Structure 1
Amino acid sequence: MTIKGVKLLPPKVTVSEALILYQKVAKIKSTIGQLNSELNHSLFNEDILQILSLKESVQSTRIEGTQVTFADMIDQATLKKKSKEVIEVQNYREALSLGVEMINEGNPISSRLIKQIHRVLMSNETRGTTASAGEFRKVQNFLGPDNKIENAVYIPVPANEIGNYMTNLEYYINSENHTSFEVNEDEELYCLDEKTDPLIKTAIIHAQFESIHPFLDGNGRLGRILIVLACMQDKLINSPVFFISEELEKERIRYYNRLNGVRGENPNWFDWIDFFLSASQRMADNLLEKLDNIDTLAKRGIQKINKNNSLINSVWLYTFRSPFCTAKEAANALEIAVPTARKYLKVLADLKLLEEDNSQQRNKLYVNYDLINIIG
């Protein structure tokens, strides 16, 4: 059966369901507090954010059906002509970076910001409809197994209603009341209004954006970027690390089923939010473990280098920001001579800390596989 449209925000759940959700939130927030603390005291904060954002970019595009992997990003790192799937990952990373920058500059999440991010996401002739990059759709779209609307699983709101729905969403995101918000008059229901917990709000924001489906293409990827930006705007996290795409990709069918459940005349918001919170808990637990393992790897490498030489240590730690790099890239990033970067990368390869691509004579690639294995 085809589901049509989505109700305006805010959503409602039963009082007992709300209690379950808030109990889950309390546990997740404790883990997120640990994450914030770990990142605040980590020597590799910025470096780890770089590699985690690449991981998120790969995973988010995989949800959309691409087969691109970390290995592909490594293999094509030095190529001038990259595959469209790799370009799609690069676009995602650049769009995410732009969004984070705009939030850090104090810009609220708005239709204007969303359109700017979408323009970057759909640039460079990537897969999908790029002609209308940065513009809300002007025609009806639908989600389904083929290109026939009669077989659609879901038909989003009509194009002429996108403006109203996005205004409703924008006010909700920014915790401002709006005339479109329905007043809760049922005592048996609990309204998850614009003042609700930031993590629950983030789940709602993502699902509502996906359900409005305001662009012809790229909605899923942009919706997952919004998860990170909403968490940052609401100060839930201090750094852009709320990368949940890996957990969503693991349960892709469940993810789409729960999203579809919030649509139509009888939305089931509890199942979606509950699913999102469980995925968030797994993500936070895994990230804490990864941060600890990354810290151990970095310290073990410095012990193995065993030199009171800050330059080679800097080259080693640079590979935590860019786990596959050339001597030229390392030299440019660290502002040192290319021969110096090459010498130290070679030393690190001889120590088995990096892997050197011996198939190339020039512009050799050096890979920090141990880090890549930790990141997953």
Structure 2
Amino acid sequence: MDKKKEFLDYLLERFQIERKKFDRSGIYGYTQRLLAYNSNKIEGSTLTEEQTASLFDTGILPGTDDYYRAKDVEEMNGHFLMFNKMLETLEEDLTQDLIKQFHYEFKSGVFEDRANGYAIGDYKKRPNMIGTYQTARPEDVKNEIISLLHWYCKQEVNLSVLAEFHAKYECIHPFQDGNGRTGRLIIFRECLKNGLVPIIIEDSNRYQYLEALKQYREEKIVKNLVKLFEEEQQVYYDKAIYFM
């Protein structure tokens, strides 16, 4: 059997077994911590890898002389729940409803977002931007996501298709907040579903990642994003193979 095919079969099996057993010591726990830490860190989370691990493993944050930002803790816990929802729904097709479910799991416990009146588990109600770039207006989001999913379901999924999907999703920016983190979880999920080594964008590559998305917005080119995806695939594989 191809080594990477064997690796993917192992991942799918162990994710489900370890999650059901509440086993946080293996590949499931490692991946939960790695993805949650990096994806939140890209968006400005102040939690460290050690703090993320402690929160996931014990539900307790280590003592510190600094303050913890409540939103960072709530979003980290939400990310753990979103990952579990992803595992529960791996057999389902990617749909609007499923994407909204991911967002709900991620954001439903975030007090600041609720206090600000953000839609939770639903598309944005107010226009938002990526820096100076205008994203889809709220009234256009549903049709743009439908169009994106219609395009995606007709593709033979590979890294180039996933890169284009991700770039288009981020351009739409369907939610008030949490677009990058739901988008990166979807990429991880679709890799698992389509026989590809999963991708975790590490915070150390944040600049290359954001520049690659910018290149797509301005030039409709995904070459640099595909290259980053390939590199991050290999990094995750090299780290996770330890558990086999």
TM-score by length of 1: 0.53
Of stretches 127-136 and 113-122 in structure 1, the one that deviates more from structure 2 is: 127-136
Task: Name the CA shift for 1:291/1:101 in 2 (closer, same or farther; >3 Å).
Answer: same
- Decide whether aligned partners of structure 1 residues 222 and 126 sit closer, same or farther in structure 2, where only a CA change above 3 A counts: farther
- Paired residues in the alignment total 222
Q: 1:291 to 1:254 in 2, by over 3 A?
A: closer
Shift in CA distance, 287/217, structure 1 to aligned 2, threshold 3 Å: closer
SS at match of 1:217: coil
Rounded Cα–Cα distance in structure 1 between residues aligned with 2:36 and 2:51: 13
Give the alignment partner of residue 200 of structure 2, picking from 225, 235, 244. Answer: 244
**Residues 210, 220 of structure 1: 8 Å contact kept:** yes
Deviations 1:322-361 (A, max 9, x none): xxxxxxxxxxxxxxxxxxxxxxxxxxxxxxxxxxxxxxxx
Task: Give the equivalent residue in structure 1 for 2:215.
Answer: 261
2:208 and 2:59 map into 1 onto residues whose CA distance is 37
1:251 is paired with a residue whose SS is helix
Q: In structure 2, which of residues 143, 160, 169 is the aligned counterpart of residue 209 of structure 1? A: 169
Equivalent residue for 1:162, pick from 141, 157, 163: 141
Q: Which has the higher Rg, Structure 1 or Structure 2? A: 1
Report the CA distance shift for 1:119/1:210 in structure 2 as closer, same or farther (over 3 A): same
In the TM superposition, what is the alpha-carbon distance from 1:232 to its structure 2 partner? 3.0
- How big is the shift at 1:132? 0.8
Distance (Å, rounded) in 1 between the aligned partners of 2:226 and 2:162: 10
Q: What is aligned with 1:228?
A: 188
Report the alpha carbon displacement of residue 202 of structure 1 after superposing the two structures with TM: 0.8
Report what 2:21 is aligned to: none
Confirm whether residue 219 of structure 1 aligns to residue 156 of structure 2: no
Residues 148 and 168 in structure 2, CA contact (< 8 A), matched pair in contact too: yes
How far apart are 1:259 and its partner, in Å?
Answer: 0.9
Q: Distance in 2 between matches of 1:157 and 1:102?
A: 27
Contact 2:126 2:138 in 1 (8 A): yes
Letter paired with 1:242: P
Q: Does 1:124 align with 2:105?
A: no
Rounded Cα–Cα distance in structure 2 between residues aligned with 1:130 and 1:52: 32
Structure with more relative contact order (C-alpha pairs < 8 Å, separation 6 or more): 1
| Change in 2 beyond 3 A, CA 1:130/1:289 | farther
Q: Is the Cα contact below 8 Å between 1:109 and 1:173 reproduced in 2?
A: no
The correspondence of residues 225-374 of structure 1 with structure 2, limited to 5 A, is 225-233=185-193, 235-237=194-196, 242-246=198-202, 249-263=203-217, 267-269=219-221, 272=222, 274-295=223-244
Instruction: Quote the offset at 1:208 in angstroms.
Output: 0.6
Match of 1:133 among 113, 120, 128: 120
Gaps of 5+ in 1: 1-32, 145-151, 176-193, 296-376
> What displacement does 1:39 show?
4.9
What is the distance in 1 between the residues matched to 2:10 and 2:87?
21
SS at match of 1:117: helix
| RMSD (Å), alpha carbons | 2.7
Q: CA 1:35 to 1:143, structure 2 compared with 1: closer, same or farther past 3 Å?
A: same
Is the CA contact 1:60–1:224 (under 8 Å) kept in the aligned structure 2?
A: yes
1:63 is the counterpart of 2:22: no
The answer to whether the 8 A contact 1:88-1:126 is kept is no
Counterpart CA distance in 2 for 1:130 and 1:96 is 24
Sequence identity of aligned pairs in percent? 23
Task: For residue 282 of structure 1, report the CA deviation from its aligned partner.
Answer: 2.3
- Gap change, CA 1:140 and 1:79, over 3 Å in 2: same
Distance in 2, matches of 1:71 and 1:40, equals: 29
**Alignment partner, residue 309 of structure 1:** none
Given that 2:167 and 2:216 are in contact with CA atoms closer than 8 Å, whether structure 1 keeps it comes out as yes
Corresponding letter in the other structure for 1:159: P
Judging changes above 3 Å, is the alpha-carbon distance between structure 1 residues 38 and 115 closer, same or farther for their aligned structure 2 residues? closer
The aligned counterpart of 1:111 is: 96
